[in-house]
Every structure is written in C-alpha cells, then in structure tokens.
Amino acid sequence: MNRDFENQTVIVTGGSRGIGRAVVECFAQRGARVFFTYHQNADAAAQVSTGCGAEAIACPQTDGAAIEATVEQVVKTTGRLDVLVNNAGITSDNFLMLMPHEDWQRVLDTNLNGACRWCKAASRPMLSARRGSIINIASISGLVGVMGQTNYAASKGALLAFTRALAAELGGRNIRVNAVVPGFIETDMSARVPRQIKQRNIERILPKRFGQPAEVASVVAFLASDAASYIFGQTIIVDGGLTATAG
Ligand code: NDP
C-alpha cells in the first residue's frame, strides 16, 4: 500500500459506518493520522478505531461549538490539518406533502449546514498553512430528481453549489475544494431503500450491482492526494454509470 499520506492529518465526518468508515480506513492505510466523528454509534466507532488506529470523536453535525473545538483540538494535537472529508449525512424520506417541517430542517441542518460548519472551522488552519483539501460527499439525488427526497436533494444539490463557490474562495490559497457524488452504495443508508426501487435501479446500473464503500473511498483519497493537485471545484460521480446513461 502506498503510504502517500504519511505525516498528514485527516478529519472524516461520520466515520463509524458505511462510506465514512471506508474513507477512514483508506487514509489510515495510506499513512495518515485520521480523526473521525460519529453521532450515536459509539460501539461501531470503537471498532473502527481498534481496526485501523484512527481516533473517534462524538460530534454532532448540528453543534457548531463542538465542531470548532474538535478542529482546534486536532490542530493542537498534530500541528496541522491537511484534509477534511464531509461525509456525515442522513435521509428522512417522505413526499413533500406529508413531510413534517422538522424532517426538512433536520436533513438540511445535518447534511448542508453541518458541512458548512466544518468547512468554516477547517479552513482557518488550512488558510494559515496555505494548503489543504476539502472533499464534500453529495449524492446523485442532488443531480437528478428522486421521488420522496426533496429535503435530501435540496441538501445535496446545495452542497454541490456550495463546493464550487467555496472552491472559488479558497483556491487561490492552495486549498482545493471538490465533491464526490456516490450512486447506490452498499451501506446501512441504502439498505433502507425499498426492494422494488433497488431492483429497478440495479437494472440501470452498468455493472448490475451496488457500489462498495471502498470504491468511493479510493476516489476521495485520489482527490485529496497530490495526483489531483490541479483539480479545483469539481464533482466526480461514482455511480456505476447510472446517471450517464439512458438505460
Ligand atoms: P450511513 O448511514 O451508513 O452512515 C452515516 C454516518 O454519518 C455514520 O457514521 C453516522 O454516525 C454519521 N452521522 C449521521 N448523522 C450524524 C450527525 N447528526 N452528526 C454526526 N455524524 C452523523 O451512511 P452512508 O455511509 O451510506 O453515507 C455516507 C454519506 O454518503 C452521506 O452523506 C450520504 O448522504 C452519502 N451518500 C450515500 C449513498 C449510499 O448509497 N449509501 C449514496 C449517495 C450519497 P453514527 O454511526 O453515530 O450514527
């Protein structure tokens, strides 16, 4: 394994499960010192820590003060912050007509406002160092219309627009901000997708299977690496061709 992130500090939000966990493990294998957040699942977080040596921190996406304190602590401990991966996210699907406004707000606050809080906190040490990479995990729901996901789609579509605008703000200081858009990836989140919808989509996915978290993690690591040193404000779609083809 290439240890190209040796001596670098990485923060991954929502690293206790799914895609975030694979991202944590990928950076740890490549030599980085990795810190990751989780919300409630302390057992899962402890397993990830034990497995790869990354450090787990309970930090809700909605708590701005805790996010600021976490970034400060990480920088105090390691003296730097090289990479931030905004991965933590939730769904709360329903038709808009039936959606309690609270569910709209919770999804937006976790997925969009949470990422904004992290970017704001992380960009301070990155600006001082004049170096850094931020990768925001969006979704195909932010690109194409998916029924029952108005709240999630709004959060992820806005996250993509936010990525480009922040890239314009920070790019001149050698901080690269990019996004990864996963399609259907095998995690706890996609396990909740109804069987009929899963089957319909698998028929349209070119390799006829859902993706694995590691197949997203490797793209995230690429964007954070020096191999992507000239990539600013871009979106890479990792969806088995789902949104590229007409079926
Ligand atoms: P999972 O549900 O498997 O994991 C979610 C992670 O986010 C967990 O680590 C969870 O912590 C953490 N988290 C959830 N809510 C909060 C919160 N309020 N504060 C802090 N951490 C929180 O999700 P996936 O791995 O499937 O998804 C990861 C990202 O990828 C999300 O942004 C999602 O929208 C996106 N995505 C996923 C797709 C898929 O098919 N799986 C497709 C497209 C995009 P805890 O374990 O403590 O609950």
The number of C-alpha atoms within 13 Å of 180 and in the hemisphere containing its C-beta is 27
Alpha carbon of 21 to ligand 1 centroid (Å): 10
What pLDDT, in 10s, does the model give residues 199-243?
A: 999 999 999 999 999 999 999 999 999 999 999 999 999 999 999
Smallest CA separation from ligand 1 atom 29, residue:
87
Residues near ligand 1 (Cβ within 6 A) = 14-20, 37-41, 44, 60-62, 87-90, 110, 137, 139, 182, 184-185, 187-190
CA distances from residue 199 to 13, 195, 240, 242 in whole angstroms, order as listed: 30, 6, 14, 13
Q: Which parts of the chain have pLDDT scores under 50?
A: none
Q: What is the pLDDT of residue 246?
A: 87
Determine the pLDDT at residue 66: 98
Quick check: is 152 catalytic? yes
- Which of the residues 5, 35, 152, 210 is marked catalytic? 152
- The predicted pLDDT at position 1 comes to 73
pTM value is 0.99
CA–centroid distance, 90 to ligand 1, in Å, is: 6
Structure token digits, residue 36: 């990751």
